Amino acid sequence: MLQIHNLHATVADKPILKGLSLTINAGEVHAIMGPNGAGKSTLGYTLGGRPGYDVTGGEVLFCGQDLLALAPHERAAAGLFLGFQYPVEIPGVSFVQFLREAANAQRRHRGEEPLSGGEFLKLAREKAALLRMDMDMLKRPVNVGFSGGEKKRAEMVQMGILAPRLAILDETDSGLDIDALRICGEGIEAIMRKPDKAVLLITHYQRLLDYVKPDFVHVLAGGRIVRTGGPELALELEEQGYEAVAA
């Protein structure tokens, strides 16, 4: 589904990713762990196409397409979802309006019929219930006045509605209390644990992985993947720290 080969990327001319390679197949859950500044968020933003994150080398294939040739909104329509560490507030635009626009923009881009108002609301209600989010919250402006945990749950609601093939979730576990962590973890499982979908979890901690069990764990350090293993690697990291394991 995703093949990253020797990816190099800079932010403000500073090299951050330095030859990162990674392959993710359909049906797999991968976790990328690593110390602060290793390039984890940069990887997410680079794959999402955020302006200011410049690819200086390498290639990325997503479902056979050259991902890097696509504009950010085209990447989303192709089935890529980026869960933000810090979801952005958009004053004056309601979640319902935003998400309906997003879902239908993606559908139009893929040549599918747009959802009617009723169809969309039914879908939104279903996904909000999955994440135990009050539908009334989705009538409010995007992320405005949401707590950290509510923002993350709203990200998962969005993921449920947009139904991506690949979700890259950047520190979805940060800022979550124990209950919200479980709800988000179960949400990821329910939405993404499918034979035709895949997940890339970017995280500092092992705790999310209790709920979303990864098939592969990678250690990112210095802009490259320095070690790959199974779920046991996350436990090893938790016990011994990055320095010992990544060395």
Partner 1 sequence: MSEVLALPAHKDEAWRYADLEALAALWPLPDAEAVVVPANGAFARAVVQDAGGVTRLNLTLERGARAAVHVLNTGAVFGRVELAVTLHEGADFTLGAAQLGGGEATLEVVATVRHAEPGATSRQVVRSVLAGRATGTCLARVEVAKGAVGTDAVQSIRAMLLDRTATANAKPELEIFADDVKCAHGCAVGELDPAGLFYMASRGIAPAEAKKLMLQAFIAEAFVGAQAEERLLALALHALGALV
CB 27 within 8 A of CB 197: yes
Contacts with partner 1 by CB under 8 A: the residue count is 32
Site for partner 1 in 73-92 (CB under 8 A): 73, 75-77, 81-82, 84, 87-92
Q: At what angle do helices 148-162 and 95-109 cross, to 10 degrees?
A: 30
> Toward partner 1, which CB reaches closer, 35 or 87?
87
Instruction: Please report which residue ranges of 5-71 form alpha helices under DSSP H.
Output: 40-48
Q: Which residue in 5, 11, 98, 189 binds partner 1 (CB under 8 A)?
A: 98
Q: Which of 236, 171, 156 is nearest to 40 (CA)?
A: 171
Find the shortest distance in angstroms from Cβ 204 to partner 1: 22
Q: Which of 151, 20, 146, 157 is nearest to 102 (CA)?
A: 157
Query: Rounded CA gap, 164 and 107, in Å?
Result: 12
> Toward partner 1, which CB reaches closer, 144 or 235?
144
Find the shortest distance in angstroms from Cβ 66 to partner 1: 18
Site for partner 1 in 109-148 (CB under 8 A): 109, 141
> Toward partner 1, which CB reaches closer, 52 or 64?
52
> Toward partner 1, which CB reaches closer, 163 or 226?
163
Site for partner 1 in 152-211 (CB under 8 A): 158, 162
Dihedral of the CA atoms 10, 14, 19, 21 (nearest 10)?
-50
Find the shortest distance in angstroms from Cβ 101 to partner 1: 6
Q: Which stretch binds partner 1 (CB under 8 A): 3-11, 43-51, 113-121, 199-207?
A: 43-51
> Toward partner 1, which CB reaches closer, 4 or 162?
162
Find the shortest distance in angstroms from Cβ 159 to partner 1: 10
Calculate the alpha carbon distances from 54 to 29, 48, 75, 80, 84 in Å. Answer: 26, 11, 16, 19, 19
CB 66 within 8 A of CB 130: no
Per the DSSP assignment, residues forming a β-bridge with 14 are 11
- Whose tokens are 């979908």? That residue is 197
Q: Does 38 bind partner 1 (CB under 8 A)?
A: no
Residues forming contacts to partner 1 in the complex (CB under 8 A) are 48-51, 71-73, 75-77, 81-82, 84, 87-93, 97-99, 101-103, 105-106, 109, 141, 158, 162
